[in-house]
Amino acid sequence: MRRLPPFDEAIASAALVLMTLIPLVEIALRPLHGKGIANAPLLVQHLGLALAMSGAVLAERGGHLTALGNGFATARNPTLRALSAAFARGCAAILCGMLALASWRFVASEMDAGRELAYGLPVWTVQALMPAGFLILGARLGSRCASRLPLRIAAGLLTTAAGVAFAGHFDGAELPLAPFAIALLLALLAGAPIFAVLGGLALALFWSEGQPLASVPLSHYQITVNPSLPALPLFTLAGLVFARGGAARRLGALFTACFGGGATGTAIAAAMLCSFFTAFTGGSGVTILALGGLLLPLLTDAGLPERRGISLVTSASALGVLLAPSVPLIMYAIIARVPINTMFLAGIVPALVMVVFLLIVGGYLRNDGAPAGRPRADLRSALAAAWTARWEILAPLVAIGSLVSGLATPTESAALTAAYAILTQAVAHRELDWPTLRRCLADCAQVIGGVMVILGMALALTNYLVDAGIPDAAVEWVQQALPNRFAFLLALNLFLFAAGALMEIYAAIVVLVPLLLPVATSYGIDPVHFGVIFLAVMEMGFLCPPAGMNIFFASAMFARPIREVAVSVLPALLAIFLGALAISWLPWLATGLPALAGKL
């Protein structure tokens, strides 16, 4: 049995494979028969729900559920550490029990509706993965409150059951909000997963208004079956497949040949490569782990001090957020209801602007006595390197070209890209075998599952705020306080910088965009322009603790203290902030290319 994959990994991997194959079959059958698989888009969307829940369970097993911090995990007193961890996990388990009952109430209502997904399959059979997933998450989190097996089993069952009983007893009652909110804050500070705290807060807010439990899982269901959402895991899978092979090495050779091997050329090549790689992998942390060991020796050999090289790799890895097919870029398009291909075009010029600001203002182009005789840019070497990396170079054309041309939907474009990555790395380069592909599927499921439970709970919280009229009140208040558009843009940049340092980027997109976008449009700011500003400033959040995960990845990758890495990226923070201000005050940088494409 130990040789068999765990059930959560098996379900998540099967969902990913089917999410890739079904759109490809649709593309193949459409010209031949005019139609393909019955209700194929709905099937793929509900496979996203299966991936979200099984991936979240897999993320918990791997210790990758996002938390604000480790609570008192670094405290010197072992008793304090143990109590903090037990409190955080116990609270999370209770909250998962509450979410499980809320999800079951939602599924029960869908049973009465009798809707079918495809081929006679009832929709509720897939929706039932929500209560099952939350029950398993609760049991696993609760079991971590103890060390011995019998106590672990008892703790997991009792804490989850307590959450179910609490939610069942108070469903429909108007509970006081303050005590619940204080308990949630303490759990968050102690290290409880963000999704559980957001879900608990959403439940508390709906409860305070006497709303039914099912309001929260309804929001989770809505976002996980969003028509554009399957593009997220599929593009992420493609990036992870490229990252597992020799794509980083081939692209590194290409960029070095194009920009030269001196200090300036190597710094430019490193910044461009990190940005490009982050756009495809969907995570700047993955870029640091995949490219850090390759780029740091190149930068130090070219004459950059080691500390500046670490700073460049750490900060440049945050800049791919604006480049297609970045996951946050797609996520913003979904939340703001902006065409994905428009956001893809809108991010190109601002991404280049951010790289230029990083290199110049950040001081990475300074030559501190670099050794003479370094190789310069060479056309022949660049062409040879381009031929070697031809499959990786064509990947953006597959991803963006199929979407912008209208030949494929966002989901079909993502499926094409994932299949292209797997085939080229397995057949053309022979670097992808089954164990490696299995790890890519599992890693993708963990990333997407951990993100999706946060997004679902955050959307429930956002829906409450929208129903309460908070965006309209915010528009009125901000317009009174900041009558000038430029003053608003400056305040927006400062606020997003603080939010990026405290919030995980996906939660920030779901929670803040519905609140801030109406305010921005009231000042005449285009939603596309606002999205580029939002993501550009959020790039700074990757470099600021406690949510700035690039600092922690770089510390682990380069074996340097967190404080040292954090200090080294301070010039980069200033550079990114100034670049974001430039993009804010020059809207044509974001809207020019989409407008030009619209005229063609």
260: which DSSP letter?
-
The C-alpha atoms of residue 329 and residue 531 are separated, in whole angstroms, by 8
Rounded to whole angstroms, how far apart are CA atoms 335 and 223?
Answer: 9
What distance, in Å, lies between the first and last C-alpha atoms of the chain? 59
Do 249 and 128 share a structural domain?
no
Rounded to 10°, the helix 570-585/306-316 angle is: 40
Token pair 């888009």: residue: 41
The residue count of the chain comes to 600
Task: Indicate if the pLDDT at residue 545 is higher than 70.
Answer: no
* C-beta separation of 58 from 50 below 8 A: no
| Shared domain check, 458 and 392 | yes
What token pair was written down for 37? 């698989």
pLDDT of residue 533: 93
Angle formed by the axes of helices 78-113 and 194-208, to 10°?
Answer: 60
* 495 shares its domain with 409: yes
Rounded Cα gap, residues 261 and 69, in angstroms: 40
CB 310 within 8 A of CB 266: no
Residues in CB range of 365: below 8 A, 6 or more apart:
263, 264, 267, 268, 359
In a domain, 575, yes or no: yes
Which residue has 């099967």 as its token pair?
14
Ranges of beta strands (E only) in 166-255 are none
3-state secondary structure of 67: strand
- Output the pLDDT for position 88: 86
Residue 1 lies in a domain: no
Q: Identify whether 481 is part of a domain.
A: yes
* Shared domain check, 59 and 163: yes
CA 516, CA 152: separation in Å to the nearest integer? 44
> Both 156 and 239 in a single domain?
no
CA distances from 588 to 326, 463, 530 (A): 21, 32, 12
What does the pLDDT look like over 19-77, one tens digit per residue? Answer: 999 888 888 876 666 566 767 788 888 898 999 899 989 888 877 776 655 555 555 66
Structure tokens given for 286: 């993955």
Least confident of 367-376, 418-427, 478-487: 367-376
Q: 402 or 101: which carries more pLDDT confidence?
A: 101
Cα separation values, 494 from 65, 320, 473, 491, Å = 28, 21, 20, 5
* Domain membership of residue 345 as a residue range: 232-599
Question: Residue 221 contacts by C-beta under 8 Å, 6 or more apart in sequence?
Answer: 49, 106, 127, 130, 456
Is 478 within a domain? yes
Residues 6+ apart with CB under 8 A from 47: 15, 18, 19, 22, 230
Binning pLDDT at 50, 70 and 90, where does residue 286 land? Answer: low
Q: Which residue has the higher pLDDT, 4 or 480?
A: 480
* Res 282: pLDDT: 59
The CA distances from residue 298 to 254, 306, 385, 564, in Å, are 13, 10, 16, 21
Co-location of 207 and 272 in the same domain = no
Interatomic CA distance for residues 93 and 152, integer angstroms: 12
Residue 518 exposed, middle or buried by CB count within 10 Å (0-12, 13-18, 19+) = middle
On the CB side of 424, CA atoms within 13 Å amount to: 24
| Confidence (pLDDT) at 129 | 92
Count the Cβ atoms, other than its own, within 10 Å of residue 448.
Answer: 31
2 part of a folded domain: no
Q: Residues 129, 12: one domain?
A: yes
| AA identity, residue 235 | F
User: Which of 176, 206, 224 is the last residue in one of the domains?
Assistant: 224
The three-class DSSP label of residue 122 is: strand
Is residue 454 within 8 A of residue 26, CB to CB? The reply is: no
Q: Is residue 353 very low, low, confident or very high in pLDDT (cuts 50, 70, 90)?
A: very high
Q: What are phi and psi of 459, to 5 degrees?
A: -65, -35
Reported confidence tier of residue 528, pLDDT bands at 50, 70, 90: very high
> In sequence order, what are the residues at sequence separation of 6 or more whose Cβ sits closer than 8 angstroms to the Cβ of residue 409?
23, 41, 403
| Listed residues 188, 208, 224: the one ending a domain | 224
Task: Tell me what the mean pLDDT of segment 173-187 comes to.
Answer: 79
Give yes or no: residues 554 and 461 share one domain: yes
Any domain includes 34? yes
Same domain, 200 and 253: no
Q: Is 527 helix (H, G, I), strand (E, B) or coil?
A: helix
Q: What is the pLDDT of residue 161?
A: 92
The CA–CA distances, whole Å, from 168 to 96, 97, 103, 106, 331 equal 13, 10, 12, 13, 34
Q: Same structural domain for residues 347 and 208?
A: no
Structure tokens at 262: 């001196």
The answer, yes or no, to whether residue 14 has pLDDT greater than 70, is yes
Q: Which residues contact 483 (CB under 8 A, 6 or more apart)?
A: none
Q: Do 68 and 204 belong to one domain?
A: yes
Alpha-carbon gap, residue 31 to 26, rounded angstroms: 9
CB 542 within 8 A of CB 284: yes
**Nearest-angstrom CA–CA distance, 588 and 355:** 18
The amino acid at 507: A
Report CA dihedral (177, 179, 184, 185) to the nearest 10 degrees.
110
Check pLDDT > 50 for residue 3.
no
Q: What is the mean pLDDT of the chain?
A: 81
Express each pLDDT in 430-486 by its tens digit: 888 888 898 889 888 887 888 788 888 888 888 887 777 777 777 777 777 777 888
Residue 350 resides in a domain: yes
Give the number of other Cβ atoms within 10 Å of residue 483's Cβ.
10
Residues 6+ apart with CB under 8 A from 485: 523, 524, 525
Give the pLDDT confidence of 560-585 residue by residue, as tens digits: 777 788 888 888 888 988 998 999 98
Stated as kind and residue range, the H or E segment containing 118 is strand 116-118
d(Cα 503, Cα 519) in Å, to the nearest integer?
A: 20
Shared domain check, 320 and 399: yes
Q: Which residues pair with 118 in a beta bridge?
A: 121
The two tokens of residue 80 are: 């304090």
Domain total of the chain: 2
* DSSP at 116: E
190, 224, 258: which is the final residue of a domain? 224
Here the tokens at position 539 are: 């790039």
- Domain membership of residue 371 (yes or no) is yes
Least confident of 96-110, 349-363, 406-420: 406-420
